């Protein structure tokens, strides 16, 4: 197991080092921003299940539609968070998320 992790780490470093070297500090900032965005959506994407029905009820909309939309956004945000987290070292690759992803400051 340790041997596999070590091999994956070496492969990651070999693939990521040219990307970091080409972009300098700007690339590092974009990569870390993408990693943070991905982890936020990965860990908090499930909150859309509760947030969308609440927003629908608060605005006088259909709560059942809010539940369906919340489930859709939760799955989309979580899967998108995984993709952003896995590909954080390639800042040019962007995966659009439903409604822009999870916003913890709403």
Domain ranges of the chain: 2-100
Q: What is the pTM (predicted TM-score) of this model?
A: 0.67
Q: What is the pLDDT of residues 7-18, one digit of tens each?
A: 766 776 666 655
Q: What is the pLDDT of residues 67-95, one digit of tens each?
A: 999 999 999 999 999 998 998 888 888 87
CA dihedral for 93, 96, 100, 103, sign (positive or negative) = negative
Contacts of 6 (CB under 8 A, 6+ apart): none
Q: What pLDDT, on the 0 to 100 scale, is given for residue 73?
A: 92
Q: What is the pLDDT of residues 18-63, one digit of tens each?
A: 555 555 567 778 888 888 888 899 999 999 999 999 999 999 999 9
Q: What pLDDT, on the 0 to 100 scale, is given for residue 59?
A: 94
CA distance 74 to 102: 9
């Amino acid at each position: 197991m340790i041997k596999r992790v070590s091999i994956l780490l070496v492969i990651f470093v070999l693939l990521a080092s040219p990307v970091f070297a080409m972009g300098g500090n700007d690339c590092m900032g974009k990569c870390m921003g993408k990693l943070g965005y991905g982890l936020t959506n990965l860990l908090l994407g499930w909150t859309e299940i509760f947030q969308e029905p609440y927003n629908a009820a608060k605005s006088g909309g259909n709560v059942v539609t809010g539940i369906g939309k919340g489930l859709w956004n939760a799955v989309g945000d979580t899967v998108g968070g995984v993709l952003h987290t896995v590909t954080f070292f390639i800042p040019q690759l962007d995966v659009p998320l439903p409604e822009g992803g999870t916003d913890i400051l709403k």
